[in-house]
Structure 1
Amino acid sequence: MRTRRGAASVFALTATVVALTACAPAGGAAVRLPPENAVPDYQLGAAYEPPDGVTVVARDRTADPADGVYSICYLNAFQTQPGELADWPGELILRSADGPLFDPDWPGEALLDTSTETKRQAIADIVVPWIRDCAEAGFDAVEFDNLDTYTRSGGALTFGDNLALGRVLVGAAHEAGLAAAQKNAAEDARVLRDEGRFDFAISEECAAYDECAAYLDVYGEHVVNVEYGDPVAFAAACEGGRMPRASVLRDRDLVAPDDAAYVFELCAAD
């Protein structure tokens, strides 16, 4: 399950992307990981003043980073955003015999075609300027959503295809001084950290889908987790120690506090 909101527009890349190591990338600024025992909020639907005690906030790249906390910039890097299919060159959209291949859970989002080096570079030509914008805006890190499109591509894409693009995007993040978060693909976390050079993970519903250990075994305390919708299940997962310490319960549309649908809960303090 992936809950995402935000807009994006397409730009051209004018510089070469270099793959770099995490944490202290050669040739780029040192990156800073989220604090251990972080208190997170996930604000992709609307940006608002973080609740008291929150130390990590994720927002869409079109929003400003939150003041005084560790700020993560959201990018939909492997699919299009809803309503923006026409903004992407047609040759970068994965297609079936019936036309563009859409995410079955998010019909407005078409999968990007990462199957060749030429296409991956063309995608990077669009996404890397967004990464640089995140850095210039003052974010500390970037998350690349939909890393797992190969699992719903009908065999047209492979893990290796997305790993190759991920390396380029992570390298660009490190060059800009940003830490890079793995998003999705829990089963491939170790390879993504070791070969993709991702620095930490953002998981969605890892307790609901029994994926928390897959992230924690690789990234330790540097896992930020978002659960949705069920306060009883969230409380049980908190009490059972089945989630990362940095876990938050949010409403699925990630609305602001003045909306009646707003949900924000944290695990009770020990």
Structure 2
Amino acid sequence: MLSGTLDLSYDVNAYDIDIFDTPNTTIAELQQRGIKVICYFSAGTYEDWRTDKDRYASDIIGTSLDEWEGESWVDIRSSALREIISDRMKLAQAKGCDGVDPDNVDGAFNDNGFDLTADDQLDFNIFLASTAHDLDLTVGLKNDLDQIKDLVSHFDFAVNEQCVQYDECDVVVPFIDQDKPVFGIEYSGDKTS
């Protein structure tokens, strides 16, 4: 379940939940059952509904994402963005999350409104991993399939969306080869599942 009411009844090892929308009590309840809690947030995009949206200066907000209203790519080279992301990870730590799932970490390979390079993306993603580890959080790599071989040693797990649909499940094998978990998400046409 990726939206709607969070169903806590699943007998699983981990939940990947929204850092902003999930109360601390829910995180604590899951952990009391021995479930690891991974806290999701977007690292590579601006979302106009988030509580920290006013911290994003207009000069770091780029091209809108076609399929996601109110969401735009950001300039991952910005020190101001890195402060926002660091604070999001500190929020995850304060809420008791075991790890973080920073989303949209492939902006350099999309129409982002900036002249981002593969090296910019690699640097940003390593910043994400280092920041999480400095806060004793595990961190997952999502979306940046083109740089997995360069990033697998920095990240603790991978989250892949639609690998069956796009026939790309083999791309995350470097994580499996290093005995690191890979979480797969396959979306249906129903936005509540």
Pairwise CA distance, 1:165: 1.6
1:204 deviates by 0.9
Shift of 1:58: 0.5
Q: Which has the higher contact order (CA 8 A, sep 6+)?
A: 1
> Are the equivalent residues in 2 in contact too, given 1:44–1:58 (CA < 8 A)?
no
Over 3 Å counting, the alpha-carbon distance change for 1:45 and 1:158 in structure 2 is: farther
The answer to whether structure 1 residue 77 and structure 2 residue 43 are counterparts is yes
Would you say how many aligned residue pairs link Structure 1 and Structure 2? 179
State the 1:198 CA deviation: 1.4
Secondary structure in structure 2 of the residue aligned to 1:228: coil
Correspondent of 1:144 among 82, 88, 102: 102
Match for residue 66 of structure 2 among 81, 94, 104: 104
**Whole-angstrom distance in 2 between the partners of 1:50 and 1:151:** 38
* In structure 1, distance between residues paired with 2:94 and 2:55: 23
Q: Which has the higher helix share?
A: 2
Structure 2: give runs of 5+ residues left out of the alignment: none
Q: For the Cα contact (< 8 Å) 1:202–1:225, is it kept in 2? A: yes
Q: How far is 1:45 from its partner?
A: 4.6
Instruction: Give the drift of 1:91.
Output: 1.8
Which of 199, 202, 205 matches 2:156? 199
- Cα deviation per residue 1:118-161 (whole Å; 9 max; x = unaligned)? x1x21111111110111121111101100111121267212211
Of 72, 90, 93 in structure 1, the residue corresponding to residue 58 of structure 2 is: 90
Q: CA deviation at 1:87?
A: 4.5
Gaps of 5+ in 1: 1-41, 95-100, 230-250, 256-262, 264-270
Cα distance in 2 for partners of 1:144, 1:82 equals 17
- Secondary structure (helix, strand or coil) at the match of 1:156 reads coil
Whole-angstrom distance in 1 between the partners of 2:190 and 2:17: 15
> What amino acid does structure 1 have at the position aligned with 2:159?
I
CA distance in 2, matches of 1:46, 1:183: 23
Deviates more, 1:153-162 or 1:180-189: 153-162
Counterpart CA distance in 2 for 1:252 and 1:156 is 35
Residue in structure 2 matching 1:60, options 2, 6, 18: 18
CA distance in 2, matches of 1:171, 1:179: 10
Question: Are residues 57 and 222 of structure 1, via their aligned partners in 2, closer, same or farther at CA, if it must alter by over 3 Å?
Answer: same
Paired-residue identity, %: 25
Structure with larger Rg = 1
Matched, 1:186 2:145: yes
Contact 1:44 1:74 in 2 (8 A): no
Q: State the TM-score, normalizing by the size of structure 1.
A: 0.61
1:132 aligned partner:
90
Match of 1:176 in 2: 135
Deviation at 1:55, TM superposition (A): 1.5
Aligned positions of 1:1-270 closer than 5 A: 43=2, 45-51=4-10, 53-62=11-20, 63=22, 64=24, 65=27, 66-67=30-31, 68=33, 69-83=35-49, 87-94=55-62, 101-114=63-76, 116=77, 119=78, 121-153=79-111, 156-194=115-153, 197-215=154-172, 217-220=173-176, 222-229=181-188, 252-253=190-191, 255=192, 263=193
* Alpha-carbon separation, structure 2, partners of 1:188 and 1:144: 15
RMSD: 2.1
- The separation in 1 between residues aligned to 2:125 and 2:187, in whole angstroms, is 27
Instruction: Flag as ranges the 4+ runs of structure 1 deviating above 6 A.
Output: none
